[in-house]
Amino acid sequence: DEDNLRYLLGHIAIGHTRYSTTGAPKLRNTQPYVIETLDGPLAIAHNGNLINAPQLRLELLSRGVGLSTSSDSEVILHMLAGAGGDWAARIRTVMARAEGAYALTILTRNAVYGVRDPWGLRPLVLGRLASGGHVLASESCAFATIGAEMVVEIQPGEIVRIDASGYEIVQGAPPQRLAFCTFEQIYFARPDSLFNGKLVHQTRQKLGKQLAREAPADADIVVPVPDSGTPHAIGYAQKSGIPYSEGLIKSRYIGRTFIQPSNELRKVGVAMKFNPLPENLKGKRIVLIDDSIVRGNTSGPLVRMLRNAGAKEVHVRVACPPIKFPCFMGVDMASQDELIAANKSIDEICTHIGADSLAFLSISGMMRALKTENGYCNACFTGEYPFSTPIPLIELQEKEKFADVWGD
């Protein structure tokens, strides 16, 4: 509010809204991280995960660098502080060592830097304010809310420097085999964002249309799981000719259940998040469209909710392939034990959630809808990671134990 903002003096700043993927969801792990260096204050905010963070952490500790959190983002901060040269040279040094997903904003005394990993796993975009200043964000949708306009997407391996004179983009590391996260297109990104010049909402409609081609259903209405499944459901309805109808109302006061930090919170979130519309559902055969099924916490309760509201049949269609493998690059699914498709067949999942039928979009169909055969990371579907060796699960588990040493 205005009372808080009036104390924030200065012309450069960074901020962060944390979704915990490594490091416990505690106040100590909140970003941005800020330290003092011989060259002035240094702050960092990070979207992604480093898969070689355990090794880098040990190197820092062996040199006597004290770490106060369990987040890999703090590792990047101290690597920057300890590197030589100007800030651009330090960033290049870190990029040469860091393996994994990272979109960074870095604040120094006189400039803000934006950095995107050489694989392009996580997005980063540059905008221009009406006043002439510049802003960085993970998604272009952030610009409209502050009256800014899109300038350019930062490309893999690039560094952008923003100061009082404007901005400059340079190559910080050679681009690697491109591996943009498919899950950004399917779920994470807001529908009104642009990736590679394409509106996410339109991409999701294409995924829904491809799903209708591959997995038709004999039904009366197409119902989305709002809000993330809505564009996919629109596409499915357009292609199948089955009328689109709202059958579930989502509470605007409950956040996205997938990104809640525990299964208990996710399950409670489902019960509080949705209410059915019995008038639209009674006696109807429904195609329920969801963007994905990760842990299976949402689908079963929703199917039961629709049946209790009078639905005659519920056929579930999912606008991405089964998620069978963990992600170590910035998505909170680091264990196969929690992934329902890694432990059950499609028929078993169908029985588990109580649906009349269940089908997923194929990998080839997904890539056809994205109009590409490569350039994306599909590791959560295929198990083929863009790096030579993903971080071992045991190391991740040890890291989480480390997180519990401190309180909130």
**What pLDDT, in 10s, does the model give residues 125-145?**
999 999 899 999 999 999 998
Question: Is residue 383 situated within a structural domain?
Answer: no
Reported as a pLDDT band with limits 50, 70 and 90, residue 249 is very high
Q: What is the pLDDT of residue 265?
A: 56
**Distance of alpha carbon 122 from alpha carbon 125, whole angstroms:** 10
Are 42 and 125 in a shared domain? yes
Q: What is the pLDDT of residue 406?
A: 40
Are 86 and 58 in a shared domain? yes
> Are 105 and 136 in contact, with CB atoms under 8 Å apart?
yes
Q: What is the pLDDT of residue 186?
A: 96
> Are 275 and 249 in contact, with CB atoms under 8 Å apart?
yes
Whether residue 151 is predicted with pLDDT greater than 50 in this model: the reply is yes
Question: Is residue 60 situated within a structural domain?
Answer: yes
Whether residue 222 is predicted with pLDDT greater than 80 in this model: the reply is yes
> What single-letter amino acid sits at 158?
E
Average pLDDT of the residues of the chain: 90
Q: What is the pLDDT of residues 360-407, one digit of tens each?
A: 999 999 999 999 888 999 999 999 999 875 555 444 444 444 444 444
Given 153, 179, 205, the domain boundary residue is: 179
Question: Is residue 381 situated within a structural domain?
Answer: no
Classify 110 as helix, strand or coil.
coil
List the single range of 111-115, 155-159, 205-209, 257-261 with lowest mean pLDDT. Answer: 257-261
Separation in Å, CA 227 to CA 223, 250, 296: 11, 7, 17
Whether residue 257 is predicted with pLDDT greater than 60 in this model: the reply is no
Question: Is residue 293 situated within a structural domain?
Answer: yes
Question: Is residue 390 situated within a structural domain?
Answer: no
CATH at 214: 3.40.50.2020
Q: What is the pLDDT of residue 69?
A: 86
- What would the mean pLDDT of 223-251 be, rounded to a whole number? 97
Are 240 and 191 in a shared domain? yes
Give which of 34, 44, 54, 105 is closest to 76, Cα–Cα.
Answer: 44
Q: Strand 180-181 vs strand 194-195: parallel, antiparallel, or unpaired?
A: unpaired
Reported as a pLDDT band with limits 50, 70 and 90, residue 234 is very high
Q: What is the pLDDT of residue 9?
A: 83
Give which of 251, 341, 254, 334 is closest to 292, Cα–Cα.
Answer: 341
Given 125, 152, 179, the domain boundary residue is: 179
CATH at 32: 3.60.20.10
Regarding predicted confidence, which is higher, 14 or 392?
14
Are 208 and 355 in a shared domain? yes
Residue with tokens 């195609």: 287
Count of domains forming the chain: 2
**Distance of alpha carbon 150 from alpha carbon 143, whole angstroms:** 7
Classify 106 as helix, strand or coil.
strand
CA 260 to chain centre: 13
Q: What is the pLDDT of residue 333?
A: 78
Q: What is the pLDDT of residue 18?
A: 62
**Distance of alpha carbon 185 from alpha carbon 372, whole angstroms:** 13
Are 277 and 142 in a shared domain? no
Q: What is the pLDDT of residue 404?
A: 45
Regarding predicted confidence, which is higher, 26 or 325?
325
Residue ranges making up the domain that contains 367: 184-376
Whether residue 17 is predicted with pLDDT greater than 80 in this model: the reply is yes
Given 162, 179, 196, the domain boundary residue is: 179
List the single range of 93-102, 171-180, 247-256, 362-371 with lowest mean pLDDT. Answer: 247-256
Classify 23 as helix, strand or coil.
coil
Are 208 and 296 in a shared domain? yes
Q: Strand 285-290 vs strand 313-318: parallel, antiparallel, or unpaired?
A: parallel
- What would the mean pLDDT of 11-31 be, rounded to a whole number? 73
Whether residue 22 is predicted with pLDDT greater than 80 in this model: the reply is no
Question: Is residue 312 situated within a structural domain?
Answer: yes
Are 83 and 169 in a shared domain? yes
Q: What is the pLDDT of residue 233?
A: 99
- What would the mean pLDDT of 142-162 be, rounded to a whole number? 96
**Distance of alpha carbon 195 from alpha carbon 84, whole angstroms:** 34
> Are 126 and 160 in contact, with CB atoms under 8 Å apart?
yes
Are 114 and 198 in a shared domain? no
**The two structure tokens encoding residue 294:** 């990760």
Are 306 and 245 in a shared domain? yes
**Distance of alpha carbon 268 from alpha carbon 262, whole angstroms:** 10
- What would the mean pLDDT of 69-73 be, rounded to a whole number? 88
Q: What is the pLDDT of residue 251?
A: 87
Reported as a pLDDT band with limits 50, 70 and 90, residue 19 is low
Q: What is the pLDDT of residue 402?
A: 44
- E strand intervals along 9-62: 33-37, 40-47
**Bridge partners of residue 162, in order along the sequence:** 112, 167
**The two structure tokens encoding residue 82:** 């300890």
List the single range of 21-35, 166-180, 211-225 with lowest mean pLDDT. Answer: 21-35
Are 82 and 200 in a shared domain? no
Question: Is residue 386 situated within a structural domain?
Answer: no
Q: What is the pLDDT of residue 209?
A: 99
Are 219 and 118 in a shared domain? no
Are 172 and 223 in a shared domain? no
Question: Is residue 395 situated within a structural domain?
Answer: no
CA atoms within 13 A on the CB side of 74: 22
Whether residue 113 is predicted with pLDDT greater than 50 in this model: the reply is yes
> Are 31 and 73 in contact, with CB atoms under 8 Å apart?
yes
